[in-house]
Every structure is written in C-alpha cells, then in structure tokens.
Amino acid sequence: MSGEVLDFPGSPVQVEPMASEQLELILAALYGVPREAVAWMAQACTQAWVAFEEQVTPDDTLSAGLVPQPDSEPAEAGKREVVLGAVGTRPSPAHGSELVGGVFAGPRRAEVAAALARAAWQEVGRVYAFAEGHLFPPEALVQAGFREVGAYRRLEGRVPYRHVDPPDGVTLRPLAEISEAARLEALHTVEDRVGHHAALPEAAQDGAGGFDSHLSHVALDDQGRAIGICRAAIEEGLGRLDSPGVAVAWRHTNLRAALLNSVNARLRAAGITRLSVDSWGDTAEELAHDLRLGLHVADETPILASP
C-alpha cells in the first residue's frame, strides 16, 4: 500500500488513500457482485480510503476482507495486511459526498467504520452515508459525530385512489411525450435532496432505470418548463415508482400529490393493484401524506451525515 497512513491511537487499524481500481475490487467483495458491476461506482468517487491491519499468519488465501496489493512493499515474513473495509466519496450536488463501500464482518466493524468515516470527513468535508447495518453500523457513525438527516424508504401497499388536480397553470404529460432536455430538467428537481446525485443525460433516455416512459409523468408550468417528475414501471405485476420530484418553488402546492395520482391512475388502468415506492430524503410531511394513502414502510435505511 502507498500514501499517507492514518494511525488511530491504541488501535491496530490503519487507514490510507487508495486508487479507484483497488476500490472496485473491494466494493465487489463487500457487495458480493462482479467487479464490473461496481466499476461505475468506483469511478464516480473523487477519493477513496482503505482500512487494514497487519496480522501475523502464514495464510495468504484470498477471502472476504483480504485483497491483494500488487504495488505494495514486500511484507515482513509471517505478516500480511488484511483489508477491513473501504470507502469512496461520490459527490452529491447539495450535500457534500456520499460514502460508498463499508466494512467487512468482524470484531472491529464499528471501529473500522468510524475510522473510515472520520478519514473521509477530515479530508473532503461534509459526507453522508446510508447506514446499512452490515456495511455502515449506524451506532458507529453516531459515535464518530454523524447525525441522522434523512432516510431511504421503500413503501408498499395497494395502488391508492385519491384524485388530485394539478395546480393552476400546470399540465401533466407522459414522459414519452417530453423531450430529453425537459426530462433532464425534471430530474434536476430532486438534486437538492440528501441521497440524490446529479442526473446525467443518459438518465433522460427511454428505458433509463428500467422505467416506462408511458407510465411516468412530467409536470410542466405555463412556460413549458419541467417542474416535477414521477417515474414508474411495472415489474412482475407490481407497480414500481420513485417518489415524485418537485421543484423547490412548487413544493408548497399539491403538485407532488397530483403527480402520484396521475401515475397511479395509469397503473390502475393497466390492471395493477399493488405498488412499491422508493424515496430518498423525503420530508416527514411527505412521508405522512403517503402513509395516509394507505401505504406502509416496508424497508428503511437512515442517512447519517457529518456536521
């Protein structure tokens, strides 16, 4: 390994910068997927760190938590550097950077998670993480100074019926009828929410993210500007959609509810009776609205951020 090593007093855990190529390998091991499946994620990171400790052992078998370091100095006889976890910083438009990666199972999970989070925080400033217990133990992040700022949630239930007209001057149209430039403009409406990232042009193409451009809807103001979006798809008889995105200037209106109603109407017309809604950084008021529709929280992961 190379670069400046951060030592934590009283701990055998060491943290140092690493290249994106090495991060790919560790992410693949953490997530249990092929390396090519996480290459895009590693390449999106501006910086990365690895946590490791030296262990005295003759066993150099590649197992979870042991990653080869081809450019490292020869280790002392009977010692090896065992990888305990790694993080990369993926920029977010309004919330610093997301920590991707995490820690391997083991007795030092909390210690390693805190060390990696602090290293990234000290170097790049504000960071946040989806605190999935097996990758980023939330208690460890809280002890490191992080605080809850939102959550990822998956809501499920019957396709609700509650008719809501859009605000005056606003029209709702299927995504299929909207230019890619307008689609991208609509996707930008959620970039200020924690957990979201900058929308790339390819996200505006037909079929992006597996969404159906005929089920999905975009809101346009009286000047033809895209001010909201709700993307949806049908998968194995279930409606799947992202929580609607609405431009800041329109969040005090009923536009979000109108977008949901418009997409739900399309799902009902297609014979779909149940749906799943993914959300990142929705407000307490938005969650309360969706619960009143009869949906329930099926999965929740807190988002913790540094001060």
21 band by pLDDT with thresholds 50, 70 and 90: confident
Q: Look at residue 118 and tell me if it is in a domain.
A: yes
Residues 32-83 have pLDDT tens digits of 999 999 999 999 999 999 999 987 665 544 444 445 444 455 555 566 789 9
Do residues 113 and 192 share a domain?
no
Is residue 307 in a domain? no
CB 53 within 8 Å of CB 13: yes
The structure's pTM equals 0.85
Q: In this predicted model, what pLDDT tens digit does every residue of 141-173 receive, in sequence order? A: 999 999 999 999 999 999 999 899 999 999 999
pLDDT at 77 (0 to 100): 54
Q: Report d(CA 264, CA 216) in Å as an integer.
A: 10
Percentage of the chain beyond pLDDT 90 is 83
Task: Based on the fold, state whether residues 278 and 175 are members of the same structural domain.
Answer: yes
Domain membership of residue 49 as a residue range: 6-145
Q: Give the count of domains, the chain.
A: 2
162 and 67 housed in the same domain: no
DSSP lists the bridge partners of residue 233 as 240
Final residue of a domain: which of 121, 145, 169?
145
Q: Which of 98, 128, 145 marks a domain boundary?
A: 145
Is 293 found in the same domain as 167? Answer: yes
Q: For 284, phi and psi rounded to 5 degrees?
A: -60, -35
- Look at residue 209 in the predicted model and tell me its pLDDT: 92
Residues 290 and 161 in one domain: yes
User: What is the rounded CA–CA span in Å between residue 147 and residue 194?
Assistant: 13
**Candidate ranges 5-14, 62-71, 130-139, 217-226; pick with highest mean pLDDT:** 217-226
- In this structure, the strands spanning 274-280 and 238-242 are parallel
- Does 32 fall in a domain? yes
Can you spell out the DSSP letters for 54-87? EEE-S-----TT----TTSPPPPTTEEEEEEEEE
Is residue 116 located within the same domain as residue 182? no
The CATH number covering residue 280 comes to 3.40.630.30
277: number of CA atoms within 13 Å, CB side? Answer: 27
Cα separation, 83 vs 54, in Å, equals 9
pLDDT at 88 over 80: yes
The pLDDT value given to residue 70:
41
Of the candidates 95, 121, 145, which is a domain's last residue? 145
Assigned domain for 82 exists? yes
pLDDT at 280: 94
Written as one string, the DSSP assignment of 246-307 is E-GGGTTTTHHHHHHHHHHHHHHHTT--EEEEEEES--HHHHHHHHHTT-EEEEEEEEEE--
* Average pLDDT over all residues of the chain: 90
